[in-house]
């Protein structure tokens, strides 16, 4: 929603000021009352926009803490150049309970849950909304609560299950529910949301949750729970909508001039038009530090750069030239020019501050901007829908059909299709290879997908040059069947009923 009004967001953030560092947000009852809010559709829509606002956080769906710090740094395919202590802890899988980014992630996701609960409860009590308007607002809020809880259970396992509004008198020592209970809530929210969400939005509402987005997250939840036939059914429901497709040109999927295209099932909406606070800093994190200001605008940090192991995995022809067009769509290396700013050419012998590895990701660096970037960032793309569908098909004995989906993704990348008669194991390998090459610096394709299938440790052993340095054998928290992040110490400080995840030191 490029027209998210910053004044509304600010109003909502002020009125919903919460115990942000307490993780279970408390809504102050002396500010929002029946006398001055939730009296009109405009009030309800303003509150809903506040829930969407939490999606923009770098700690939730901003592709920074989730996609960069955790997913692709922990898998080893992105290198974090600053090497600050909290990021090194993630990179080396040390994962202490006081890690800055893990704490921010946990806190921000629960704030999203709290905001969604607030809307669901209050809008549910409103008697002056038409049934259609009420159903639409509640469906969007349930979708948002569902994806916040999806992230929580994905990373932390069972957490406190809160589906009602908390206030100053609420009991905050809420024990952890089981992971199964959280997954059940995620499925319930997404299923109910899908029933009332539209196929598409128009005008200023473009970017809101849709039926396809709810079903796409439902598939992801079903894959986590190994409900493969259900995942097949849900995937086929998405395809049958007839709304989505792969764009012929990979680069065009991410361009600011082509946002909310038919490949974007759901993306985080940013804008730099009306207020810089609605923008993103991903361009700054992408662009090479020290490059000329004409190409980087206000700043450049080159925080995350592709590792050599990822570059070396790209398919090439017999002469060694890269054939995979996904590389040219989102990466520049030595001697190569920026696709939108051809005057910028990556040096053949590059200054180390630019990038340690010689390569830069350009998905989110498309222009020299003097304000926060308005480029949207992907959360789920149609290519992920196809690869998730392929994984589920393979597990229900339809491996040839699975490879047809994989080959759709490969063909768009101008790669040769793979045989349809691969073994089940080889099909799964093919699915994961395409995820790795398709989604660098996006939420899917790295740690979480590898983790849920028990492939993570084998992957990093085979692909991370620093594997011996990580000392996996000394870290029991990564020896678990499903690796979970630690429950933050700061969360335990305010909720004494919380217990720690397996393998980590117990709370004192």
377 touches 64 (CB < 8 A): no
What size, in residues, is the chain? Answer: 508
pLDDT at 37: 85
Q: What are the φ/ψ torsions at residue 34 (nearest 5 degrees)? A: -60, -20
Domain ranges (residues) in the chain: 1-196+463-508
Q: What are the φ/ψ torsions at residue 75 (nearest 5 degrees)? A: -75, -20
Q: What are the φ/ψ torsions at residue 172 (nearest 5 degrees)? A: -100, -10
134 touches 43 (CB < 8 A): no
245 touches 262 (CB < 8 A): yes
238 touches 385 (CB < 8 A): yes
Residues 6+ apart with CB under 8 A from 307: 76, 77, 78, 79, 357, 465
Separation CA 466–CA 76 (nearest Å): 9
Closest CA to 268 of 284, 258, 280, 250: 280
Q: Strand, helix or coil at 339? A: coil
DSSP assigned state of 158: S
Closest CA to 146 of 111, 182, 199, 196: 182
Neighbours of 321 (CB within 10 A): 7
What DSSP assignment string belongs to 257-294? GGTT-TTEEEEE----SS-GGGSBSHHHHHSPTT--HH
Q: What angle do CA 463, 465, 470 make, to 5 degrees?
A: 100
Q: Is it true that domain 1-196+463-508 has CATH number 1.10.600.10?
A: no
pLDDT at 95: 98
Separation CA 415–CA 404 (nearest Å): 13
Per-residue model confidence as pLDDT tens for the chain (508 residues):
544 433 333 334 333 433 333 334 344 444 455 457 899 999 999 999 999 999 999 999 999 999 999 999 999 999 999 899 999 999 999 999 999 999 999 999 999 999 999 999 999 999 999 999 999 999 999 999 999 999 999 999 999 999 999 887 888 899 999 999 999 999 999 999 999 999 999 999 999 999 999 999 999 999 999 999 999 999 999 999 999 999 999 999 999 999 999 999 999 999 987 555 789 999 999 999 999 999 999 989 999 999 999 999 999 999 999 999 999 999 999 999 999 999 999 999 866 789 999 999 999 999 999 999 999 999 999 999 999 999 999 999 999 999 999 999 999 999 999 999 999 999 999 999 999 999 999 999 999 999 999 999 999 999 999 999 999 999 999 999 999 999 999 999 999 999 999 999 999 8
pLDDT at 36: 73
Closest CA to 241 of 218, 262, 214, 212: 212
């Amino acid at each position: 929603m490029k027209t998210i009004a910053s004044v509304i967001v600010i109003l909502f953030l002020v009125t919903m000021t919460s115990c942000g560092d307490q993780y279970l947000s408390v809504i102050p009852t002396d500010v929002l009352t029946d006398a001055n809010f939730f009296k009109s559709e405009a009030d309800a829509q303003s509150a809903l926009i506040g829930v969407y606002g939490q999606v923009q956080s770098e700690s939730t769906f901003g592709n920074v803490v989730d996609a960069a710090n955790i997913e692709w740094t922990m898998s080893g395919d992105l290198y974090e150049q600053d090497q600050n202590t909290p990021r090194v802890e993630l990179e080396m899988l040390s994962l202490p309970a006081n890690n800055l980014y893990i704490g921010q992630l946990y806190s921000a996701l629960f704030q999203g849950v709290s905001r969604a609960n607030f809307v669901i409860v209050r809008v549910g009590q409103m008697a002056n909304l038409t049934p259609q308007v009420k159903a639409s607002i509640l469906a969007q809020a349930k979708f948002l609560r569902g994806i916040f809880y999806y992230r929580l259970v994905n990373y932390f396992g069972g957490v406190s299950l809160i589906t009602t509004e908390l206030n100053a008198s609420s009991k905050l020592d809420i024990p952890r529910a089981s992971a199964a209970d959280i997954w059940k809530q995620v499925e319930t929210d997404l299923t109910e949301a899908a029933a009332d969400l539209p196929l598409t939005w128009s005008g200023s509402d473009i970017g809101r949750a849709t039926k396809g987005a709810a079903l796409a997250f439902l598939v992801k939840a079903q894959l986590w729970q190994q409900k493969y036939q259900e995942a097949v059914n849900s995937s086929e429901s998405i395809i049958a909508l007839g709304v989505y497709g792969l764009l012929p040109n990979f680069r065009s999927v991410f361009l600011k001039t082509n946002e909310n295209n038919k490949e974007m099932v759901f993306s985080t909406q940013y804008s730099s038009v009306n207020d810089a606070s609605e923008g993103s800093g991903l361009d700054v994190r992408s662009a090479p530090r020290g490059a000329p200001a004409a190409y980087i605008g206000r700043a450049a940090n080159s925080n995350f750069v592709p590792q050599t192991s990822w570059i070396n995995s790209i398919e090439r022809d017999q002469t060694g030239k890269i054939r995979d067009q996904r590389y040219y769509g989102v990466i520049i290396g030595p001697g190569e020019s920026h696709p939108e700013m051809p005057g910028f050419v990556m040096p053949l012998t590059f200054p180390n501050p630019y990038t340690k590895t010689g390569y830069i990701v350009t998905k989110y660096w498309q222009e020299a901007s003097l304000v926060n970037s308005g480029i949207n960032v992907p959360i789920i793309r149609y290519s992920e829908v196809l690869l998730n569908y392929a994984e589920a098909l393979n597990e229900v004995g339809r491996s040839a059909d699975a490879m047809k989906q994989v080959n759709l993704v490969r063909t768009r990348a101008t790669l040769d299709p793979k045989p349809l008669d691969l073994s089940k194991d080889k099909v799964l390998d093919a699915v994961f290879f395409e995820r790795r090459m398709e989604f660098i610096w996006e939420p899917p394709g790295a740690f979480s997908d590898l983790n849920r299938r028990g492939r993570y440790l084998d992957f990093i052993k085979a692909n991370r040059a620093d594997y011996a340095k990580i000392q996996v054998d000394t870290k029991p928290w990564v020896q678990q069947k499903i690796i979970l992040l630690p429950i933050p110490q700061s969360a335990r400080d305010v909720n004494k009923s919380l217990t720690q995840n397996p393998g980590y030191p117990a709370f004192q």
